[in-house]
Chain A
């Protein structure tokens, strides 16, 4: 295939049968390899949609500065797109992300604005909101509240899954902005209301000790606007140790994926244990490249677990 722009390579990712890892022989597990996107993660999809929709209706003008908060992947995706399209970009990033996330933002020439790790993604988001209010001339996509984020999955990821696997019974994905779960979940349930949608979360709340009160908690508008409480059928926490164990297990089928993908696989395996038969589609959000510095594959499991507790990997 010949492509005219790197942005044309976003989406249409492969669906890989990883049933060899299923704990139930009557349940197939199919993994959607989002690390195959050119920017390295599933976030290429919403980033491209948010930028191009804004270009279409004039919210984003040539040369205008883009500002976004991100725990990494959305920032990296936006920065790649901004570089290709010629926009300056500033990314507000919590300081406790893996070093590779920061390095990739530098590759794409983004200006990084750091917020305290103890405030997590919530702190980065609040800082970005304050900066956006001070600089109304900047374009602030605001992934947590931008309808083009779930729309990218409703129009892309969801139809791709349905095309490749109409027999899907369960959909499992990580919950960050809720864009993937809301967009794909809504699409699949419209095709087949029996499809179950399961969300996966890291216990990130344990490390955001900078939250002064629970009033600083946050539920993304993308989740509320899509009636997330009704759309999801289950939500599981997967702890760092199990996430890393499953990240390692994925290499048995040749998949080198990030730590949140390990968490998603752990949840898919739990789902497989609970049901009698079915077909689970699980989103593996990114590749393993950005987590090599955590030693996730090679270091002692206890050591890696402690390290992972201090790093945002969703």
Chain B
């Protein structure tokens, strides 16, 4: 599966300034692996030391947070749009 990944400002420098990149994978976990393969400096932004998703990173498939889907096992389809955003407060 080929998907579009929207990057937050803080990660764009690791992708040559691009705000959107392409990645491959059948699950979010595989997409994250592919991103790190293409852009190794993203690893510290995406992964926690235990191999899970970094706690201050939210990943969305078609605007739905994967932590309330199947987390890294969430399936992706061709053409899905993945967004990565930092956790931000409001109020």
List the A side residues contacting B86 at CB < 8 Å: 205, 208, 211, 214, 216-217
The answer for the CA separation of A101 and B83 in the assembled complex, in Å, is 29
Contact of B90 among A209, A213, A217, A312 (CB under 8 A): A312
The answer for the CA separation of A236 and B10 in the assembled complex, in Å, is 22
Please tell me if the beta carbons of A206 and B85 are within 8 angstroms of each other in the complex.
yes
List 19 contacting pairs A-B, 8 Å CB cutoff, sorted by A. Answer: A73-B91, A74-B91, A121-B90, A122-B88, A176-B91, A179-B91, A205-B8, A206-B8, A209-B10, A214-B11, A216-B86, A217-B56, A218-B87, A229-B67, A234-B64, A235-B67, A236-B65, A238-B63, A314-B90
List the B side residues contacting A74 at CB < 8 Å: 91
Bin the interface of chain B by size. 20 to 34
Q: What 20 additional pairs, Cβ within 8 angstroms, besides A208-B9, A234-B64, A235-B67? A: A43-B91, A71-B90, A120-B89, A121-B91, A143-B91, A144-B91, A199-B65, A205-B88, A208-B88, A212-B10, A213-B10, A216-B86, A217-B88, A218-B56, A218-B87, A219-B55, A220-B89, A236-B64, A237-B65, A238-B63
The answer for the CA separation of A236 and B91 in the assembled complex, in Å, is 18
A75: nearest chain-B partner, CB-CB: B91
Q: A190 on the interface (CB 8 Å rule)?
A: no
The answer for the CA separation of A238 and B85 in the assembled complex, in Å, is 13
Q: A175 on the interface (CB 8 Å rule)?
A: yes
**Closest Cβ–Cβ distance, residue A256 to chain B (whole Å):** 21
Question: Most B CB atoms within 10 A — which of A176, A205, A312?
Answer: A205
A149: nearest chain-B partner, CB-CB: B91
Which applies to chain B's interface (DSSP): helix, strand, loop or mixed? mixed
B interface residues with partner A (beta carbon < 8 Å): 8-11, 45, 54-58, 60, 63-65, 67-68, 83, 85-91
List the B side residues contacting A239 at CB < 8 Å: 63
Question: Most A CB atoms within 10 A — which of B54, B64, B85?
Answer: B85
Contact of B65 among A143, A213, A235 (CB under 8 A): A235
Q: A53 on the interface (CB 8 Å rule)?
A: no
Q: A261 on the interface (CB 8 Å rule)?
A: no
Q: A268 on the interface (CB 8 Å rule)?
A: no
**Given contacts A234-B68, A237-B63, A144 and B89 within 8 Å (CB-CB):** yes
